[in-house]
């Protein structure tokens, strides 16, 4: 069954910074998309960017997206709150979400986490080693232990996220910092994978193993539910487990009204 994937890229650095354009002539979003197509033969992968109308994330587009992949950095604040809420509803209803690198500070990730999602950082060409902490996890399959990334931006703990449902990878950097670089979360009916390697200043999204992990994450994040559905508050009569009733309000008619 076709796996519909949409890669959302901010596409600002590529416009403004020549050195980024050199590393990612097609834009980070297209590079990430190519990596997914390479690894998942049944995936139909599209891309869209911040500057499209509605940031390319209409309700129709989201309804047809099994997994959304998010890369943002310089313009988190420009993402429209209405669109963020739309994406949020779709994730809670069953759309998978992959959040990459600086996406840790995106509105959508923060909304789903409920924390600041802050961390420590430095961009000085540290070597990153991505170690597998959960060797039987589907996301960890097909990559070496460790994945070696010669030049990367350092991200370090304390990474202010809720305790991940599953910790798949932990990275170290030349400077000695460590970071929980591969984490899964379930929110509502949606599955989320956060993966930190990647930065506009380094060719990380061309890295064979990074592309493999992102593809594994996309495959994992697709829902097992038969259809999209938002968890809802319903009332159930005694012994009737299968017919819920909508909420009519918290206060009964006041007796002394």
Binding to its own copies (CB under 8 A) within 142-181 occurs at 144-146, 148, 154, 156-158, 160, 162-163, 165-167, 170-178, 180
Q: What is d(CA 151, CA 204) in angstroms, rounded to the nearest whole number?
A: 8
Applying CB under 8 A, which of residues 59, 80, 124, 150 lies at the interface with its own copies? 124
Q: Is 77 helix (H, G, I), strand (E, B) or coil?
A: helix
Q: What backbone torsions phi and psi does residue 229 show, to the nearest 5 degrees?
A: -160, 130
Q: What is d(CA 15, CA 22) in angstroms, rounded to the nearest whole number?
A: 11
- Window contacting its own copies (CB under 8 A); options: 47-55, 56-64, 206-214, 238-246: 238-246
Q: How far is CA 45 from CA 135, 218, 241, in A?
A: 27, 11, 40
User: What distance separates the 2 farthest-apart alpha carbons in the chain?
Assistant: 74
Q: What is d(CA 238, CA 158) in angstroms, rounded to the nearest whole number?
A: 47
101 belongs to the binding site for its own copies (CB under 8 A): no
Using only the alpha carbons of the chain, give its radius of gyration. 20
- Contact, 106 vs 79, CB < 8 A? yes
Q: Residue 46 or residue 133: which is nearer to its own copies going by CB?
A: 133
- Contact, 60 vs 240, CB < 8 A? no
Q: What is d(CA 201, CA 21) in angstroms, rounded to the nearest whole number?
A: 10
118 belongs to the binding site for its own copies (CB under 8 A): yes
Residue appearing with tokens 């703990």: 157
Applying CB under 8 A, which of residues 92, 203, 209, 228 lies at the interface with its own copies? 92
Q: Residue 46 or residue 210: which is nearer to its own copies going by CB?
A: 210
Smallest distance from its own copies to CB 50, Å: 13
- Contact, 92 vs 231, CB < 8 A? yes
x/- letters, 43..82, toward its own copies (CB under 8 A): ------------------------------xx--------
Q: Residue 30 or residue 199: which is nearer to its own copies going by CB?
A: 199
Q: Residue 6 or residue 139: which is nearer to its own copies going by CB?
A: 139
Q: Residue 53 or residue 254: which is nearer to its own copies going by CB?
A: 254
137 belongs to the binding site for its own copies (CB under 8 A): yes
255 belongs to the binding site for its own copies (CB under 8 A): yes
Tokens of 114: 């409920």
Q: Residue 53 or residue 251: which is nearer to its own copies going by CB?
A: 251
Applying CB under 8 A, which of residues 4, 38, 54, 188 lies at the interface with its own copies? 188
207 belongs to the binding site for its own copies (CB under 8 A): no
């Amino acid at each position: 069954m076709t796996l519909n994937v949409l890669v959302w890229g901010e596409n600002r650095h590529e416009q403004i910074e020549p050195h980024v354009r050199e590393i990612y002539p097609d834009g980070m979003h297209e590079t990430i998309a190519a990596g997914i197509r390479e690894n998942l033969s049944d995936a139909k992968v599209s891309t869209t960017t911040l500057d499209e109308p509605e940031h390319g994330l209409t309700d129709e587009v989201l309804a047809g997206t099994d997994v959304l992949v998010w890369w943002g950095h310089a313009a988190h604040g420009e993402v429209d709150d209405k669109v963020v809420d739309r994406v949020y509803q779709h994730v809670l209803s069953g759309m998978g979400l992959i959040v990459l690198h600086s996406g840790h500070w995106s509105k959508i990730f923060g909304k789903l986490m409920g924390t600041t999602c802050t961390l420590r950082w430095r961009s000085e060409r540290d070597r990153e080693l991505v170690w597998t902490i959960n060797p039987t996890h589907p996301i960890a399959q097909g990559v070496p232990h460790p994945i070696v990334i010669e030049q990367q931006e350092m991200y370090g703990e304390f990474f202010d996220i809720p305790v991940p449902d599953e910790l798949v990878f932990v990275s170290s950097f030349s400077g000695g910092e460590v970071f929980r670089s591969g984490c899964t979360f379930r929110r509502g009916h949606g599955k989320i994978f956060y993966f930190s390697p990647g930065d506009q200043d380094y060719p990380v999204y061309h890295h064979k193993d990074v592309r493999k992990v992102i593809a594994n994450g996309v495959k994992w994040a697709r829902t097992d539910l038969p259809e999209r559905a938002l968890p809802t508050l319903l009332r159930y009569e005694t012994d009737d487990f299968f017919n819920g009733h909508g909420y009519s309000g918290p206060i009964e008619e006041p007796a002394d009204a």
